C-alpha cells in the first residue's frame, strides 16, 4: 500500500469495497458496497452501519473472503478478511467482522472494522506494524467519510 500523493477526498473519487476473487477476476468486477450503502462509521466502536442494501453483506460474501477498500482507482486497504465470531484463525491485519468483539463476543448482526482478529492480539508487534503501515490510508478513509457526513465520533 502506497500513501496517496494527492488528496483524493477533494476530487470526484468514490469509495467502494470489492470482494477479492480468483486471479482471473478483478476486484473491481465484484463490488460489495459503495459509499452510498454506508450510513455511518463509528470511530470509537469501529462499527460500519449500512442502509439500502437489497441483500445483506453476510449473504453475499463468504467467511474468510478477502475484501478490498478502494477510493477511485486507488486501493486503501488490501488483505482485509471477512470473519465471523466463530473463526478459529488469527489475523494480524484489518478484518471486516460480522459481530462485536469487545471484552465479550456478541453476535449483534452488525459489522465492524477491527485491526486484528481476535482482539486479544491487538498489542502484537505485527498488528501494530500493520496499523502503522496503513495509517495514511486510514486517515484518508476517515477524512472521506467525515466530508461525506458519514463519520460518528
pLDDT in tens, 58-78: 888 888 888 999 998 888 887
Give the pLDDT score at 74: 85
Q: In the structure grid, which three cell numbers stand for residue 59, read together?
A: 449473504
Q: What is the pTM of this model?
A: 0.85
Residue 56 CA to residue 42 CA, distance in Å, equals 19
Residue 56 CA to residue 74 CA, distance in Å, equals 26
| Cα torsion 147, 148, 151, 153: sign | positive
Provide CB contacts within 8 A for 69, sequence distance 6+.
Answer: 15, 17, 75, 76, 77, 80, 141
At residue 5 the predicted structure's pLDDT band, cuts being 50, 70 and 90, is: very low
Give the pLDDT score at 25: 47
Amino acid at each position: 500500500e502506497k500513501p496517496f500523493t494527492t488528496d483524493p477526498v477533494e476530487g470526484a473519487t468514490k469509495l467502494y469495497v470489492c470482494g477479492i476473487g480468483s486471479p482471473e477476476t478483478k476486484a473491481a468486477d465484484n463490488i460489495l458496497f459503495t459509499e452510498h450503502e454506508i450510513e455511518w462509521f463509528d470511530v470509537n466502536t469501529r462499527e460500519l452501519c449500512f442502509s439500502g442494501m437489497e441483500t445483506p453483506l453476510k449473504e453475499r460474501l463468504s467467511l474468510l473472503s478477502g475484501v478490498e477498500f478502494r477510493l477511485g482507482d486507488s486501493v486503501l486497504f488490501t488483505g482485509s478478511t471477512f470473519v465471523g465470531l466463530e473463526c478459529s484463525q488469527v489475523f494480524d491485519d484489518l478484518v471486516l467482522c460480522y459481530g462485536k468483539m469487545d471484552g465479550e463476543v456478541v453476535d449483534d448482526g452488525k459489522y465492524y472494522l477491527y485491526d486484528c482478529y481476535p482482539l486479544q492480539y491487538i498489542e502484537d508487534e505485527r498488528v501494530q506494524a500493520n496499523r502503522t503501515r496503513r495509517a495514511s490510508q486510514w486517515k484518508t478513509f476517515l477524512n472521506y467519510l467525515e466530508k461525506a457526513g458519514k463519520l460518528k465520533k
